[in-house]
Amino acid sequence: MSRRLLLAAVLLAPCAAGAQATRPATATPAAAPRDTSPPSAHHGVLEYQEARRKLELDMQRGGFTVYIIGDMEGLAAVVRNATEMRPEYRGGTAQHERFREELTDEINAVIAGARAGGATQFIVNDGHGGTLFRNVLVDKLDPEAILIRGYPKPIVMSTGINPMVDAMMMVGAHANAGSPGVISHSFALDSFMVNGKVLNESGIAAFIGGEMGVPFVLTAGDDVLAAETKEMLGPIETVIVKTALSGSAAINHSPARSHQMLRAAAERAVRRTRAGHLKPLVFEKPYRVHLCLRRQYANDEWIRTTVGKFDGMVADGGPGCFTIVTPSAERIGTLLNEIEWTVLKP
């Protein structure tokens, strides 16, 4: 079976059966009940793991595979979530379509640069949840890339990552929750730490990939994102497409200039990785992960209680803060997916 068909199996795997619960009645009888079905009832975790195993066996070991995550808040010229990251049918504006183009262009620039550096295989994961991970323009994407899109999907931003991948990269990335970066946040969380080390979304991807021996080698966004990610991960390649003035303003490079920088950085990243200069992020096991829900979710009693019941979660700190100890980074990726599923509910 071809590599493309096997990755398609990751996306089309049968759904695992899962029990459904019903939220207790609310004070407004006419209100529609919340969907409380667990994520495992929708994306099929066991089937996904088997498909990933087959993909690993099929990938060409002689080539160099790059896994690219595409988020949107850190794209060139993006400064406002409500108008630029949200489609019109959800109260946004037509600008969203323009920035879907920019997302696709930045991914293509990274693919072009990585190819020049010696990469031969490309897996793209649509990583922006504002439209439930359906942002990349499929007809404009580099034809050699395989695209993961849609939701629910396992491990959210790291779906399909496996030990046969050689390097991870991210475009459109943003700074951590609470930072002075443009549209800064971290999933549905206010904080996330592994063994006491603070990680942003780029760092979390590096954590999950690192356990599989995959180095995270490039991230692109604003200057705040670049500085904090280098502090977390070391001397990876960073591309600063804008300088933050506030959470909703920035000094921006043109898209064309940003694409040039992305191509050059991706080529350097692949060459440095092939030379053994960029290494996977590794933590001592078992991992002690501490996280706090974003305040708006921590204040929602149902969300807070539901997350607190996830396997291994122990309340630790203020309302909505928890600790989990596990030897598996992939388990943490699944946990983040469970949290996203709880707060997003398509």
Domains of the chain: 3-9+37-283 (3.40.50.10780)
Sheet holding 121-126, edge to edge: 145-148, 121-126, 65-70, 167-171, 216-222, 237-246, 249-252
Q: What integer is the mean pLDDT of 211-233?
A: 98
Note the pTM of the prediction, 2 decimals: 0.85
The pLDDT value recorded for residue 79 is: 95
Please tell me the predicted confidence (pLDDT) of residue 209: 96
Beta-sheet strand order (sheet of 189-194): 197-198, 189-194, 287-293, 321-326, 314-315
Regarding predicted confidence, which is higher, 19 or 138?
A: 138
In which residue are the tokens 């979660």 written? 313
Q: In angstroms, rounded to a whole number, what is the distance separating the alpha carbons of residues 170 and 109? A: 12
**Average of pLDDT values for 103-108?**
98
Give the C-alpha separation, 301 to 266, whole Å.
44
Confidence tier at 130 by pLDDT (50, 70, 90) = confident
> Tokens 């990785």 appear where?
273
Query: Does residue 170 or residue 129 have the better pLDDT?
Result: 170
Calpha distance 27→211 (Å, rounded) = 46
